[in-house]
Structure 1
Amino acid sequence: MTTHKDPKLINIATDAARHFVDTYYPALNHERQTLEAFYHSNASIAWNGNAISGGAAFSSFFATMPKSFYDPQSFDAQPLVSDGMGSCSVMLIVSGAVKYGESNEQRGFSESFVLKPEPGSQSKFKIAAQTFRIVTA
């Protein structure tokens, strides 16, 4: 049985996390119309206390948010259970700063994701679960 200590799965998790961070946050900042594609259709999302189900609902919800700029400053990834086909789900924790609207005030944020590989792919992942929080002072 493959475990989370498997170097191959650790590399998969790290590569998936890096690719995700490098594509997801630019989409949040500049290409909101593409957000649905990052999510499984039944993804479970908790966005600063708002429960949302699925990528389409999240995309609609986020379209109502003011213009924003997310600056992910650190992330950590951990492989979860192997899918038995050479890949695994990934736990991803991201922290950084965000600005909303025309304000220059930066707020901290923290979020966690469970990324699941798409069926038939060992390297393409979508969000299965997400929790986002603004850091309060």
Structure 2
Amino acid sequence: MAGPTVMQAAQGQHGAAAASNDAQSEQRSLIEFAAKAAETFASAYYAATDSPQRLGLIPTLYLPNSTIVWNGTPVSGKDELVQLLAAMPGSKHELQAFDAHPVGGGTENGVRRAPSVMITVTGVVTHHIPGSASTMAPTNAPKSAGGSSIKDLPLEALPRTFHQSFLLTPQPTHGTNAPVPDGGVNCATGDGVWAARLFVQADNFRFIG
């Protein structure tokens, strides 16, 4: 049996190169979607967390079966999440850095499926309890003048460094006919190639300083 001709071999190499370029282009597009999702979600999430209306806002970003761990304590379901939020004082989050990676997603049989997105965030949070750093009036008085200072405050009143990771998943799940649930965060690339409504599937918050 005769082997492939030089032309056939060249065509095969060209096809493989084109497929590789397409895959690389799609991967770059998925990374762009993840970065956009991280920016959009982080802005919405921490604005909601610091809002006086957070009890009504934050739960809409989660799924009914979301896995939540807050500083080592498991939180089961939206009811417990609301209880946790209700017990916490007001807060102010200042983000220092965040990173994002697409998980899965891509084109299969001509159908685009948006990826899940893994997001990691680091920042500083201050809780507004009586006497906290966020409620202390600024002063130019010398330390020798006495009075309270940040070093005199209890740990829970100080600004604290935190790390938080999220796994966001698109809803409804690809291949199902389920209606799009209320809530979540709408994310899309600038060219509209990738778009999805993302919800928190998993959330792990921990103080690291």
Mark yes or no: TM-score above 0.5. Answer: yes
Unaligned runs of at least 5 residues, structure 2: 1-22, 134-157, 173-179, 181-185, 187-194
Q: Which residue type is aligned with residue 60 of structure 1?
A: Q
Give the C-alpha shift of residue 117 in structure 1.
0.9
| Cα distance in 1 for residues equivalent to 2:86 and 2:93 | 15
Identify, as 1 or 2, the structure richer in helix. Answer: 2
1:3-54 superposed Cα distances (whole Å, 9 cap, x missing partner): 9x71121111111111001100010001312111010110000000110123
| Cα distance in 1 for residues equivalent to 2:94 and 2:58 | 17
1:58-77 superposed Cα distances (whole Å, 9 cap, x missing partner): 12211111111111221000
Q: What TM-score do the two structures reach when normalised by structure 1?
A: 0.88
| Cα distance in 1 for residues equivalent to 2:78 and 2:37 | 19
Q: Does 1:16 align with 2:37?
A: yes
1:73-130 superposed Cα distances (whole Å, 9 cap, x missing partner): 2100000111764310011000000001241121100010000011168321110001
| Cα distance in 2 for residues equivalent to 1:129 and 1:57 | 15
The ranges of structure 1 where at least 4 consecutive aligned residues each deviate by more than 4 angstroms after the TM superposition are: none
Aligned residues between the structures: 134
Greater Cα radius of gyration, structure 1 or 2: 2
Q: Which residue pairs with 2:123 in the alignment?
A: 96
Identify, as 1 or 2, the structure richer in strand. Answer: 1
| Contact 1:80–1:90 (8 Å) recurs in 2 | yes
Identity of aligned residues (%): 33
Tell me how large the CA RMSD over aligned residues is: 2.0
- Choose from 76, 85, 100 the match for 1:53: 76
Q: Which residue type is aligned with residue 106 of structure 1?
A: P
Q: Which residue type is aligned with residue 201 of structure 2?
A: A
| Cα distance in 2 for residues equivalent to 1:117 and 1:13 | 12
Q: Which residue pairs with 1:113 in the alignment?
A: 166
Q: Which residue type is aligned with residue 107 of structure 1?
A: R
